[in-house]
Amino acid sequence: MRLGEQLLKDGLVTAEGLEEALEAQVVHGGRLGTNLVELGLLSEVDLAKALGKVHNSAFASGEMVPDPKAMELVSSNHADDKEYLPMRVDATRLSIAVVNPHDFSTLDAIAFKTGKRVVPVVIPEFRMNQLLRRYCKAFRPLRAVDMNAVRPRPSAGSQAELAKAAETPPDLMSEEEFQSVYASALRGGADSDGDMGEEEIITGVEVLEAAPEPPPATVRPQVPVAPPPPPQAIAVPPQMVQPHVPPPAPALGGSPPPVQVPRAPEPPPTPLTFAEAQAELARSSDREDVAHTVLRFALGKWKRNLLLSVQGSLVTGWHGMGVGVRDAVVRRIGVPLREQSTFRLVRDTRSHYIGPVRRDAAMGVFYKLLGDGFPKTAVILPLLVRGKVVHLLYVDNGPDQLTPPDVGELLILSQSVGRSYEAMMRRRKSA
């Protein structure tokens, strides 16, 4: 049974809510459960329980602190690559948090390496990303759930209040609070005192014992690997944070890792004409296709081009192209939609903006992440799906430069983006 079917069966979501989450998944990516939580339609605890039922596995939710002794048994780079995190260890058993408890090849390799019985514990995708950021220094794009920008969950008699809040959403938080939450999200969450949450692994002993055993597999002898030093949480200014680039992970087999031959750098993307971009959007199969098509078209007109995602009261980076624009850095962007911000103006009016960007602390961080200062003018275009702003296309010509307001073809192209997303939503629902 799929997750959506299980949630409907348990009465945790409605068919309308599930449809809304499927649409959000097409636009914002991630797993279905992550989108349900971000939309305020499902709690993390209920999501974890449903995942446990779907996978017939132990489950966990909430803040988690792995045992350093368990972390020492594996390579943090391997944990990042395979999306798992060791949580508890005793004389015979190693409990690991996973997103996919049926990745038996990885589970077998960990069991052989550690000499322990490996017990997978399924956790929500967004919680795994937070843990990997914090304890493995991994790179994961920011989402609304990481910034505490989740839509309030509906309750009895609250529909009118929710509708009013959707029309005029309040400020996310103060500037100081936002900077604190932003830096914390980049590290993987706020520091914890070490206590386990109510739905944590430590309370799932009965479920853990019932978890299915992975089938045995033959694995070659393991080359001993020195354990990594325990991670330290260090407060780093957001603009100084760099993406994690893991070195080659040690082979899990007995032979030494193969010599890595440096690959030739990928050629820079080439601009698309308006006709080419229209044709590409018509053929788009996922959100990544849409992003690359829009940015390649913009690349022919402006020097710096960014696609941003809009989720509630937050704008996060998605992709970027152009002079000095690094895609990994763009994905670390987080800007609150405040009352007087330029991004907020574009979101609320659902109309494009041409002119100077309002200078405030949040936009100062935005330009520091790009590596340069404010432009004289910029162009910001909303991309709508079914009347809702889901992305912002930001373009400029660099610091202290004017940005040509050549947006005629771009406005037409934005309509094709909406149609492309709607076609993808229909395919997702039919599947």
Q: Is the dihedral of CA 172, 388, 424, 22 positive or negative?
A: positive
Residues 217 and 280 in one domain: no
Residue 14: alpha-carbon gap to chain centroid: 25
How far apart CA 30 and CA 51 sit, in angstroms, is 15
Residues 211 and 305 in one domain: no
- Residue 15's H or E segment, with its range, is helix 15-28
What is the pLDDT, as a whole number, of residue 141?
85
CA distances from 27 to 167, 174, 197, 398 (A): 21, 28, 31, 28
Residues 282 and 172 in one domain: no
- Residue 309's H or E segment, with its range, is strand 304-311
What is the pLDDT, as a whole number, of residue 159?
53
Q: Is the dihedral of CA 235, 82, 1, 5 positive or negative?
A: positive
Residues 23 and 120 in one domain: yes
| Angle at CA of residue 195, ends 231 and 241, nearest 5° | 30
Query: Phi-psi region for residue 117, left (φ > 0), alpha (ψ -120 to 50) or beta?
Result: beta
CATH number reported for the structural domain that contains residue 295 in this entry: 3.30.450.40
Residues 374 and 300 in one domain: yes
Residue 238 counted as domain residue: no
Residues 100 and 174 in one domain: yes
CB burial of residue 367 (10 Å; 0-12, 13-18, 19+) = middle
How far apart CA 174 and CA 180 sit, in angstroms, is 10
Q: Which of 181, 254, 262 is nearest to 224 (CA)?
A: 254
What is the pLDDT, as a whole number, of residue 255?
45
How far apart CA 256 and CA 290 sit, in angstroms, is 41
Return phi, psi of residue 389, to 5°: -75, 120
CB burial of residue 396 (10 Å; 0-12, 13-18, 19+) = buried
**pLDDT tens across the length of the chain (431 residues):** 899 999 999 999 999 999 999 999 999 999 999 999 999 999 999 999 999 999 999 999 999 999 999 999 999 999 999 999 999 999 999 999 999 999 999 999 999 999 999 999 999 999 999 999 999 999 888 888 888 777 776 654 455 544 554 554 444 455 566 667 667 777 777 554 333 333 343 333 233 333 334 444 443 444 444 444 443 333 333 333 334 444 444 444 444 555 555 666 677 889 999 999 999 999 999 999 999 999 999 999 999 999 999 988 889 999 999 999 999 899 888 888 887 889 999 999 999 999 999 988 888 889 988 888 899 999 999 999 999 999 999 999 999 999 999 999 999 999 999 999 999 999 988 87
What is the pLDDT, as a whole number, of residue 384?
95
How far apart CA 307 and CA 383 sit, in angstroms, is 10
Whether 302 contacts 296, CB under 8 Å: no
CA distances from 321 to 156, 175, 271 (A): 46, 28, 10
CB burial of residue 15 (10 Å; 0-12, 13-18, 19+) = exposed
Residues 307 and 382 in one domain: yes
Residue span of the structural domain in which 133 resides:
3-152+168-188+196-221
Whether 60 contacts 41, CB under 8 Å: no
Residue 258 counted as domain residue: no
Residues 289 and 404 in one domain: yes
75: which residues sit within 8 A by CB, 6+ positions away? 225, 228, 249, 250
Residue 133 counted as domain residue: yes
What are the pLDDT digits (tens) for 334-391?
888 887 889 999 999 999 999 999 988 888 889 988 888 899 999 999 999 999 999 9
Predicted TM-score (pTM) of the model is 0.74
Number of C-beta neighbours around residue 267 at 10 A: 6
Residues 68 and 215 in one domain: yes
Q: Strands of 61-143 (E only): list them.
A: 84-89, 93-98, 117-122
Whether 80 contacts 63, CB under 8 Å: no
Residue 11 counted as domain residue: yes
Residue 338 counted as domain residue: yes
How far apart CA 305 and CA 185 sit, in angstroms, is 25
Can you name the residues that pair with 58 across neighbouring β-strands? 121
Residue 261 counted as domain residue: no
Residue 318 counted as domain residue: yes
Residues 33 and 182 in one domain: yes
The count of structural domains within the chain is: 2
How far apart CA 77 and CA 92 sit, in angstroms, is 24
Interhelix angle 274-282/287-299, nearest 10 degrees:
180
What is the pLDDT, as a whole number, of residue 250?
47
Query: In which residue are the tokens 């597999």 written?
Result: 217
How many residues make up the chain in this entry?
A: 431
Residues 51 and 124 in one domain: yes
CA distances from 203 to 61, 90, 200 (A): 11, 16, 6
What is the pLDDT, as a whole number, of residue 144?
85
3-state secondary structure of 111: helix
- What order do you get walking across the sheet with 304-311 strand by strand? 334-336, 314-322, 304-311, 388-396, 378-385, 353-355
Q: Is the dihedral of CA 114, 116, 119, 123 positive or negative?
A: negative
CATH number reported for the structural domain that contains residue 202 in this entry: 3.30.300.160
How far apart CA 47 and CA 363 sit, in angstroms, is 35
Residues 426 and 292 in one domain: yes
Residue 97 counted as domain residue: yes
